[in-house]
Amino acid sequence: MTRIIGIDPGLLHTGWAIIESVGANRKYIASGVVLPPKSDSLPGRLDFIFREVSKLCDTFQPDECSIEITFVNKNPQTTLILGHARAAAIVAVADKNIPIFEYEPNKIKKALTSAGHADKEQVYKMVRMLLPAAQPKTPDESDAIAIALAHSNMNKFKF
């Protein structure tokens, strides 16, 4: 059995999900969204993300982490800020000595839906189909579950 934490990084909303994977079987454990206070400074938000992801690792004891790779936005400033949030989550996981696997958005979508350019609704439907116990309330939470599932699908024959 492998317990996976999936992370969809963001400065305002960092989605997270915990699943267990054994061969081709998946089990939903928990999911949610880290919401740094909007009034915090950039360093304050990054610290909040770091501390909350650290707590999730302590609480759920994942064996592996899968996280989305930041794609380049039209606005370079947005890409840079998203990279900071991603780094805060990565450092929190790395601090717990948990192996980290990084995936591009289109590879996550393809692993889940067989279409690299699937939209959020298609991803949500596959999350619900593959893990009926999951009830994601936001796209960030749904994406985090998808990231964990994609990792488990790419590694399903690892025992």
Q: For residue 13, what are the contacts with CB-CB under 8 A and spacing of at least 6?
A: 33, 34, 35, 138, 140
Euclidean distance between CA atoms 116 and 61, whole angstroms: 30
Query: Which of these is catalytic: 20, 64, 140, 143?
Result: 140
Q: What are phi and psi of 110, to 5 degrees?
A: -65, -40
Query: Which of these is catalytic: 8, 20, 64, 141?
Result: 8
- Is 8 designated active site? yes
Q: In the 8-state DSSP scheme, what is residue 63?
A: S
- Is 52 designated active site? no
Euclidean distance between CA atoms 55 and 19, whole angstroms: 16
Query: Which of these is catalytic: 20, 52, 64, 68?
Result: 68
- Is 68 designated active site? yes
Active site residues: 8, 68, 140
